[in-house]
Amino acid sequence: MDDPPRILAKPRCVDHAAAVLGEGPVWAARDRALYWVDIKGLRIHRFDPATGAAASWPTPFRIGSIAPRGSGGFVGGSERGFVLIDAAFARFDIVADPEADLPGNRFNDGKLDGAGRFWAGTMDDAEQQATGALYRLDPGLGWTCLDRDYRVPNGPAFSPDGRIAYHSDSAARTIYRFDLAADGSLSGKRPLASFAAADGFPDGMAVDAQGCLWVAFWDGWCVRRLSPEGACTGILPLPVQRPTSCAFGGPALDQLFITSATIGLDRSARDAQPHAGDLFVAAPGSKGVLAPPFAG
């Protein structure tokens, strides 16, 4: 008989942001700070764990995720396509729009791989049609579509050795595993894990140094730790119904930051969850893997 998942560290709230749709946490080593977005609240947030200071900036349109850029500022995915953002969050320059013919689509979650490439998925903002896709933005600012037919894409995430990519369709309650080649191409798509309605929806995720996946579960009140084979080995309970994503950060990459959302919660649910939409941190006993900044 398999051992039951163990209960992991208790998280604490570090930024009472009450985000509408908090998402996309990413650790910027150059700034020693954690950045994250509120997609539908049109904000970018920053948290400094050394001082506890939090700050935020408005965005001119919806940003699904951002990641540090080697030359300064950030790269991201937005409702208008791939975007380059300056360090002061004053300029938002669209560099490519792979889905200009799909005005109802927007970029959602995104991450850097170990080669400094930016990956992000698109989705029907109404969450009705499976018109989403997974894209890779290369340093030369050319893009490639790697996979299609997603309704609510989340992730992606990458194994520490750079040979495996993970991506989920939250609407299908399924996380997929791909073989990742050095040139950034994918092959061998297969389900890693699927979940029941009672588990919630697998949302954003991060990989630790042991190759395990840490997955936030929308409507699941938790983050789950999955082995590389997809078995749940640990649960990190949260005081909010809709955790959205997670990322390792801190100077030693031993802190797990978790974003959450208030969207869709009625008044009674909001009253019962005063920390909905906030940023949390926990010490889970694992360390993350720092991706290099975007090379473009």
Catalytic residues: 203
Element of type H or E holding 270: helix 267-272
Give the CA distances from residue 143 to residues 90, 99, 137, 166, 176, in Å, rounded to whole numbers and listed in that order.
24, 11, 4, 19, 21
Task: List, as own/partner pairs, every contact residues 261-264 make where C-beta atoms lie below 8 angstroms and the sequence separation is at least 24, other chains included.
Answer: 261/19, 261/20, 261/21, 261/22, 261/23, 261/218, 262/18, 262/19, 262/20, 263/20, 263/21, 263/40
> Rounded CA gap, 168 and 52, in Å?
32
